[in-house]
Amino acid sequence: MPQPADVWPPQPWDIAFARFAEHDAWYVGDTATLADIYQGKSGPTTHVRSGVPYRGGVIGALSKMWWGQRQDTADNRMKMHLPVPADIAQLSADLLFAEAPKIRYPKPDNVAAAEQAAGGKPAAQWKHPGQDRLDTIMGSDEAHAEMLNGGELSASSGGTYWAVTWDEALRDHVWFRAFSHDCAIPEFRYGVLTGVTLWTEYDTTDRGGAVYRLLERHGPGLITYELHEGGPANLGRPVPMSTLPETAHYESLRSAAELEPFADAPDLAALANPAVTVATGVPKLAVKYMPNVRPSRDWRKLGPLANLGRSDYAGIEDLFDKIDQAWSSLMRDLENGQGRLTVPEQMLDTGKPGEGATFDVNRSVYVGVQTLASSEKLADQIVNTQFDIRVQEHLETIDALKREIATTCGYSPVHLGLRDVQQAQRTATEVTADLSDSERTRDKKALYAKPALAELAQVALAIDGIVFPGKGGQWFDELPDVEFAEVSQVDPLKNAQTISMLDAARAVSTLTRVRMAGQVPDEEIESEVQRIRDEDALGAMRDPASALFDATEHEDEEPDDGDEQQLAGAAAGTA
């Protein structure tokens, strides 16, 4: 665990956490934090120009961002944010987890070989002994929702940590939670996660309190919980879990051996050792790391930071900034586009002393002032000023920036709401190809998600077997398969036509046709194939040109009246 006097976050993670804070501000749409970051308020200034403080070097370059430009207090311009970063994070999560991945144990080779030797007919429906419990843990709607949550966090921050959790008072099975990059300090060896400290922050400074951090240190087979009382930039000293009502329940996790010396005064156990250690019973980490994508370009040479994933926002922060600038400019045009009247002073109504003069736009009768001009020309002195609202120019600029963002992130522009003006003239194949960029990016991210979810399922099932014995959970050496759905769904009519043509050409088997149809669950495919074979079992077709076919057909025929007369005449002639 970190020492009480340590600054938080510890080095070199302070470098990464500064970037996490920047990307989190874009993801949340926190314009106040964006202004503080890009104006350099989060660190010391290096020089002052015209009374305005600046920071030199790389950080000073951030002040060139539109959000980093200081605004005069007399300037009433509004700065607005367009939530494109949040849309990208949601798009990434939807591409991966909009449809829940199938996490299933594959059929062993010996079972498949036995069925193949039996002609492909399954003797009985095979199911892995841990599959039902695995479906409860990883296949529920709650698990699906948590995957979507982790997908967004991964895209915005660069990675997600999946942590196995259990509480017998809440659920009768284990489950998992998603932690973002900015809530964890990992430990890697050869690029493999060997330990991690997760934390949850409770800020009570608004009530005159301190910043409390619940640290959750995960090692192989052990989880250690500690509550620290500190400040915004330091960890502080460890305090008992009962200090906060949100963490008091962790005291119930102490083992009987730990409480035995304090049998007469159990409360003294927390004072003697504020940390609470829990054994998982499984010699593996109860946390798995899912990077968004690699490599991390900024930190690929910075030791432990090189193992972190890369955010979708990396390198395109200035594009987000320019989109907000263009959107705010359009809104400013909208305000300036309101009609303005310039009227002569004699048309103003003078109020009480100190109230100034006003102009009544609904007034219909005015008295001309002869000293200024004739009443007929008085109307010419009212000038209507109307500025253009440059809608098309602004929207085209925003679309161009969004298209560049989509290209850099690897997503298809159509997924960011961009349409091709000639799309109506394109073929169906070309329209479907518009999704190819997103599909390719999704497949790359799935390479990191599959092993993380498979190992998470293995550990969760093992811990579940210890915490909730007799319900199907236990340690299995084999990893389950993780299968993601396709991004673009196949047209059912087109798919049926393809299957029909392949069947007519005798180019595919019945098993392949059933799989291509995609209407039968994987575990029932072989049974469906057998049912089709049973329904089609009508015997072998006979060749109409064969002698056997002629003989059989003539044996079954009954002569009609004309044939009987011909046969009778032939018999009489013979006689």
Whether 192 has a pLDDT exceeding 90, the answer reads yes
Query: In this predicted model, which residue has the larger pLDDT, 419 or 367?
Result: 419
Residue of higher predicted confidence among 566 and 275? 275
Q: Is the predicted pLDDT of residue 275 greater than 80, yes or no?
A: yes
Q: What is the pLDDT of residue 552?
A: 47
Q: Is the pLDDT of residue 105 over 80?
A: yes
Confidence of residue 378 (pLDDT cuts 50, 70, 90): low
Residue 543 confidence (pLDDT) above 70: no
Contacts of 127 (CB under 8 A, 6+ apart): 523
Per the domain annotation, does 83 fall within a domain?
no
Which is higher by pLDDT, 398 or 71?
398
Q: Please indicate, yes or no, if residue 534 is contained in any of the structural domains.
A: yes
Decide if pLDDT at 258 tops 90: no
Average pLDDT over residues 338-342: 71
Tell me the C-alpha distance between 460 and 482, whole Å.
Answer: 15
d(CA 402, CA 384): 37
* Range with the poorest average pLDDT among 87-91, 207-211, 433-437, 496-500: 433-437
Q: How far apart are the first and last CA of the chain?
A: 120
Q: In the predicted model, what is the mean pLDDT of the chain?
A: 80
75: pLDDT confidence band, cut at 50, 70 and 90?
low
Distance between CA 450 and CA 446 in Å, rounded?
Answer: 6
* Helices vs strands, H then E, count in the chain: 18, 17
- Residue 332 per-residue DSSP state: H
Q: What is the pLDDT of residue 507?
A: 81
Q: How far apart are CA 474 and CA 132, in angstroms?
A: 12
Q: Which residue has the tokens 């319900």?
A: 471
Residue 103: what pLDDT?
A: 95
47, β-bridge pairs: 54
Q: How many domains does the chain have?
A: 1
**52, two tokens:** 């305005």
Contact in structure between 38 and 67 (CB atoms under 8 Å)? yes
**Distances from the Cα of 407 to the Cα of 19, 155, 238, 319, 323, angstroms:** 22, 16, 48, 12, 15
Is residue 259's pLDDT more than 70? no
Q: Are 35 and 68 in contact (CB under 8 A)?
A: yes
Q: Is residue 423 a contact partner of residue 429, using CB atoms and an 8 Å limit?
A: no
Q: Work out the percent of the chain whose per-residue pLDDT is above 70.
A: 72
What was the pLDDT predicted at 121?
56
DSSP assignment of 337-396: TS-EEE--GGGSEE-STTT-EE--TT-------TTT--GGGGGGG-EEE-----HHHHHH
On the question of pLDDT at 310 being above 50, the answer is: yes
pLDDT average, residue stretch 52-61: 46
211-219 and 159-165 beta bridge pairing: unpaired
Which region among 85-99, 159-173, 206-220, 265-279 has the lowest average model confidence (pLDDT)? 265-279
> Greater confidence, 224 or 430?
224
Q: Where are the alpha helices (DSSP H) in 5-140?
A: 13-28, 31-38, 57-62, 84-97, 109-117, 131-138
Cβ neighbours around 33 below 10 Å, total:
18
Residue 535 Cα to chain centre, angstroms: 45
Window from 1-10, 173-182, 331-340 with minimum mean pLDDT: 1-10
With vertex at residue 547, the alpha carbon angle to CA 542 and CA 553, rounded to the nearest 5 degrees, is: 70
Where is pLDDT greater, at 354 or 542? 354
**How distant, in Å, are the alpha carbons of 24, 160, 173, 306 from that of 225?**
26, 20, 21, 27
Taking 3-state DSSP, the helix, strand and coil percentages for the chain, each rounded to the nearest 5, stand at 45, 15, 40
Beta bridge partners of 160: 180, 290
Determine how many CB atoms are found less than 10 A away from the CB of residue 128: 17
Give yes or no for residue 478 having a pLDDT over 50. yes
Whether the Cβ atoms of residue 70 and residue 52 lie closer than 8 Å to each other: yes
Average pLDDT for residues 252-266, to the nearest whole number? 65
DSSP 8-state secondary structure symbol assigned to residue 102 = E
How distant, in Å, are the alpha carbons of 56, 57, 58, 130, 470 from that of 61?
Answer: 7, 7, 5, 56, 61
Whether residue 508 is predicted with pLDDT greater than 60 in this model: the reply is: yes
Residue 525 belongs to a domain:
yes
Distance CA 101, CA 484 (A): 5
Q: Specify if 518 maps to a domain.
A: yes
What burial class does residue 117 get, using C-beta atoms within 10 Å of its C-beta: 0-12 exposed, 13-18 middle, 19+ buried?
A: exposed
Residue 574 has a pLDDT of 47
Distance of CA 388 to the CA centre of its chain: 40
**Is pLDDT of 374 > 90?**
no
DSSP lists the bridge partners of residue 192 as 189
Strand segments (E) across 383-500: 383-385, 481-483
For residue 452, the model assigns a pLDDT of 97
Backbone angles phi, psi at 229, to 5 degrees: -110, 115
Q: Is residue 429's pLDDT more than 60? A: no
Mean pLDDT across the stretch 347-356? Answer: 71
Which range of 59-63, 106-110, 166-170, 568-572 scores highest in mean pLDDT? It is 166-170
Q: Identify whether 524 is part of a domain.
A: yes
Average pLDDT over every residue of 359-382: 59
**pLDDT confidence tier of residue 60, bands split at 50, 70 and 90:** very low
Beta partners for 179? 161
H helix intervals, 238-316:
256-259, 268-272
- Is there a domain that residue 530 lies in? yes
Instruction: Say if CB 238 and CB 275 are below 8 A apart.
Output: yes
Pairing state between β 159-165 and 102-104: unpaired
pLDDT at res. 387: 73
Would you say residue 507 lies in a domain?
yes
State the Cα torsion 7-11-15-17 to the nearest 10°. Answer: -50
pLDDT at residue 263 in the model: 58
Residue 528 lies in a domain: yes
Give me the domain span that covers residue 519. 502-539
Q: Please answer whether residues 523 and 125 qualify as being in contact, where contact means their C-beta atoms are separated by less than 8 angstroms.
A: yes
What would the mean pLDDT of 264-276 be, rounded to a whole number?
66
